[in-house]
Amino acid sequence: MSTILPTLRQLKFLVALAEHGSFSRAAEATHVTQPTLSAGIKELETALGATLVERGARGATLTPAGEAAVERARIVLTEAEDLVLATRAAGEPLSGPFRLGVIPTIAPFLLPRVLPALREAFPALELFLREDLTHRLLDAIKDRRLDAALIALPYEEPGIETMSLMEDEFLFAAPRDHRLAKVNRLTPDMLAGEPLLLLEDGHCLRDHALSICGGGPGGPHGEQVRSDFAATSLHTLVQMVRSGIGATLLPKLALDAGLADRLDLAVRPFDPPVAGRAIGMAWRKGSARGEEARQLAEAVKGALSP
């Protein structure tokens, strides 16, 4: 007696039902009629020999067997998607949709430099961009909602591979009348006791800046962080400095892109230069699009070269 295997379509119906909680919304999400989706779920229950969904006036609830089936259904569907992507990539790499995440302290300063070159190099590539904080981008990569992301390194995360593209040094920015505004040879030690303005918690750039100061809020130089001000973006941060509230550390990538132009700030390099972070590409280990992520990273690296 042969085993009746569920179809990908039936598994897709089950996952949609789990995500939306009702037959009508799941049918709408999968672009079928409600009777078609309901019949598909019934066929799946018959194939698996178990009741997966309890139907009630308030919607659909998964049974324990349904919960277990949904977990495996997601794996099967993502593996099927990987099969399609890997086959497509083998025939024509970097073509079709590619979902790329970018952190906010990189996106507005790097993308205008590299996107024209990427369009020229890969005319068949359709880039879908998402800007978010590093940890959320990496979660999306693990969940296969993103193919890769441009982030700041170092950033260790299990299940994630990275490739460094460029070093991005830190520069000191302050009002023109600041005590360090005209120092000829600025070193990180000179920041001792200086209350710095930084981005709010959650931005990896904040952690990189704190490492230059010698530690985090609980570390030896934690007193250097202004706790009464925290910016949500680099654009807000430079405006706070312009207002005379305090000084900060800014990435050269952003300054080269014009972040502080026409703001009349004192921007001083460290001597020797201080490497604040590296810009890198991250993707899921074992991803069917891992080689494409490497190729895209090489193209971005080339576009950033002088």
Q: DSSP labels for 158-193?
A: TTEEEEEEEEEEEEEEE-TTSTTTT-SSB-GGGGTT
Q: What is the pLDDT of residue 2?
A: 58
Residue 301, H or E segment: helix 290-304
| 273 φ/ψ angles, rounded to the nearest 5 degrees | -55, 145
Q: What is the pLDDT of residue 212?
A: 67
Q: What is the pLDDT of residue 103?
A: 94
**Measuring CA to CA, which residue among 189, 209, 190 is closest to residue 200?**
209
Residue 97, beta-bridge partner list: 126
Please write the tens of the pLDDT for every residue from 169-213: 999 999 999 999 888 889 888 888 788 888 877 677 777 777 766
Lookup: tokens for 155: 């950033």
Residue 48, beta-bridge partner list: none
Lookup: tokens for 234: 């680099």
Q: What is the pLDDT of residue 130?
A: 96
Rounded to 10 degrees, the C-alpha dihedral 179/180/185/187 comes to 120
Q: Is the pLDDT of residue 116 over 60?
A: yes
Whether 228 contacts 249, CB under 8 Å = no
One-letter identity of residue 274: V
One-letter identity of residue 181: A
Lookup: tokens for 274: 């201080």
Please write the tens of the pLDDT for every residue from 118-166: 999 999 889 999 999 999 999 999 988 899 999 999 888 899 999 999 9
Q: Is the pLDDT of residue 31 over 70?
A: yes
Q: What is the pLDDT of residue 223?
A: 47
Q: Is the dihedral of CA 285, 289, 293, 294 positive or negative?
A: positive
Q: Is 291 left (phi over 0), alpha (psi -120 to 50) or beta?
A: alpha
Q: What is the pLDDT of residue 220?
A: 40
CATH class, domain 167-278, is alpha beta
39 vs 226, higher pLDDT: 39
Cα–Cα distance for residue pair 114/179, rounded to 1 Å: 37
Among residues of the chain, what percentage have pLDDT more than 70? 89
Q: Tell me what the mean pLDDT of segment 97-119 comes to.
A: 93
Q: Where in the chain is the domain with CATH 1.10.10.10?
A: 8-89
Chain centroid to Cα 84, Å, comes to 24
Cα–Cα distance for residue pair 209/199, rounded to 1 Å: 9
Q: What is the pLDDT of residue 221?
A: 43
Q: Where in the chain is the domain with CATH 3.40.190.10?
A: 93-165+279-304, 167-278
Q: What is the pLDDT of residue 61?
A: 87
CATH number, span 93-165+279-304: 3.40.190.10
**Measuring CA to CA, which residue among 254, 250, 241, 243 is closest to residue 268?**
250
Cα–Cα distance for residue pair 17/38, rounded to 1 Å: 10
Q: Give domain 8-89's CATH architecture.
A: Orthogonal Bundle (1.10)
Q: What is the pLDDT of residue 34?
A: 92
241 three-class SS: helix
pTM for this prediction: 0.72
| 61 φ/ψ angles, rounded to the nearest 5 degrees | -125, 135
Q: What is the pLDDT of residue 147?
A: 92
* Cis status of the peptide bond prior to 108, with omega within 30 of 0: no
